[in-house]
Amino acid sequence: MIHLADILKQFLPHYDAQYSRSTEQYRVCSHIADCRTPIMGGFRLHCNECDHDQWLYHACRNRHCPRCQKQASQAWEQTQLSHLVNTHYFHLVFTLPHELNLWARLHRRVIYNGLFQSVWDTLNTLGQDKNRLGGQLGMTAVLHTWGQNLSQHIHLHCLIPAGALNDQNQWHPAKSTYLFPVRVLSRLFRGKMVAALRKSYTLGQLHRITHPHEINRILNTLMRKEWVVYAKRAIDHPETVVRYLARYTRKIAISESRLLAMDKKTVTFQYKDYRDHQNKQQILKGEEFVRRYLQHVFPLGFMRIRHYGWLSNSSRKKQLANVRKAMDDYASQNQHALQPLKYHGFKVIKRFDGIHCPQCKKAMMNIIQTLLPLKTIRRGFT
């Protein structure tokens, strides 16, 4: 199997000869190169049945590393189970026009923050509308910046419970199969994002864009085109809800299972073409593959998973109780209210206490030696 670390080791010198790496990109490349190697430390396992020995090395746990996301996804999934409520869920995707890709390369943090805030302002405005839901929504949003072929494709995945909580702690369920009309979402989102960009430029936050006329030209052009908003029908089952949450929160630009081949000059990987829903292969020069991958490294400390409304971190504990009580009250007063949703349980993540021996496939291997890491890696949002 081809690992991303192998590709970076071979082609980073060629990439560095043409481009410069940011501090975050240096950090990510270093972590991926060290992942599951003796540099990270680890432990030695021994089988008492067949005397087989094996070393296991620690993971870097960097959020951009394709080898470190499965366990993080499972842990996040377990946490989200406690946040489920008795209703359907909507999955919406808001996409930035590609005309803003260059601005996002120059001012990633400003553009990404503007996208989060504009999407929430859009949904909150429609949710608070008394002619629609007349209350506050809850939302979990996850930022992706890539397409299947590693191109720049900035979009926000949003998972939203189907209803709103008003100021009197009453639950107003969504009546439509879709949360709000797509055209209404698209045009309101467009207006709020363009307004946010104009404000950012006025405040000097887009200082790397040195031509004032370019700002007006591009934004005026964008106001004349339709923006893409995707809305999926309501999701019924909690298992599906959690699967969506886990899938989109820990997904990275490319998984190693899609890496097909590597030679002295090129990298071949598989991608899905959503225009005809066919799996295809892409061959890129090694340095171009590295360039495409590194453009999706997030700014240091940037939070790409955010919660809003009654799911926000600051009020979720209290508001979840209010939402569940309001749902129970609504169900007791309405015969056609949703029946309680049930899930069949999920695996609980247990502390690592050894593995089955790959040699004899019978006994459990035990830790007999520990290897300390050769250097300390900063954890968190890297």
Task: Specify whether 40 is located in the same domain as 102.
Answer: no
Task: Specify whether 95 is located in the same domain as 12.
Answer: no
Structure tokens at 233: 């029908």
Task: Specify whether 51 is located in the same domain as 189.
Answer: no
Which amino acid, residue 35?
C
Task: Specify whether 93 is located in the same domain as 241.
Answer: yes
> Given phi > 0 = left and psi -120 to 50 = alpha, else beta, which region is 345?
left
Task: Specify whether 185 is located in the same domain as 308.
Answer: yes
Task: Specify whether 354 is located in the same domain as 313.
Answer: no
CA neighbours within 13 Å on the CB side: how many for 196?
20
Task: Specify whether 228 is located in the same domain as 147.
Answer: yes
Residue 380: inside a domain: no
Task: Specify whether 93 is located in the same domain as 236.
Answer: yes
Pairwise CA distance, residues 309 & 314, whole Å: 10
Residue 21: inside a domain: yes
Residue 278: inside a domain: no
How many domains, in total, are found in the chain?
2
**Residues of the domain holding 308:** 85-253+298-333
User: Tokens 């997904």 sit at which residue?
Assistant: 251
Per-residue model confidence as pLDDT tens for the chain (382 residues)? 899 999 999 999 999 999 999 999 999 999 999 999 999 899 899 998 898 988 888 888 888 998 887 777 777 777 777 788 888 889 999 999 999 999 999 999 999 999 999 999 999 999 999 999 999 999 999 999 999 999 999 999 998 999 999 999 999 999 888 899 999 999 999 999 999 999 999 999 999 988 878 889 999 999 999 999 998 877 777 667 667 767 777 778 898 999 999 999 999 999 998 888 899 999 999 999 999 999 999 998 899 999 999 999 888 889 999 999 999 888 888 766 555 454 444 444 455 556 788 888 888 888 888 888 886 655 444 4
Coil, helix or strand for 244? helix
Task: Specify whether 55 is located in the same domain as 195.
Answer: no
Residue 23: inside a domain: yes
Task: Specify whether 139 is located in the same domain as 186.
Answer: yes
pLDDT computed for residue 378 by the predictor? 53
Residue 312: inside a domain: yes
Residue 287: inside a domain: no
Task: Specify whether 168 is located in the same domain as 39.
Answer: no
Residue 118: inside a domain: yes
Coil, helix or strand for 276? coil
Task: Specify whether 352 is located in the same domain as 318.
Answer: no
pLDDT computed for residue 345 by the predictor? 46
Residue 283: inside a domain: no
Could you tell me where the beta strands, DSSP code E, fall in the chain? 42-46, 53-57, 89-95, 138-146, 152-161, 163-165, 171-173, 229-231, 259-262, 266-273, 278-285, 305-309, 366-371
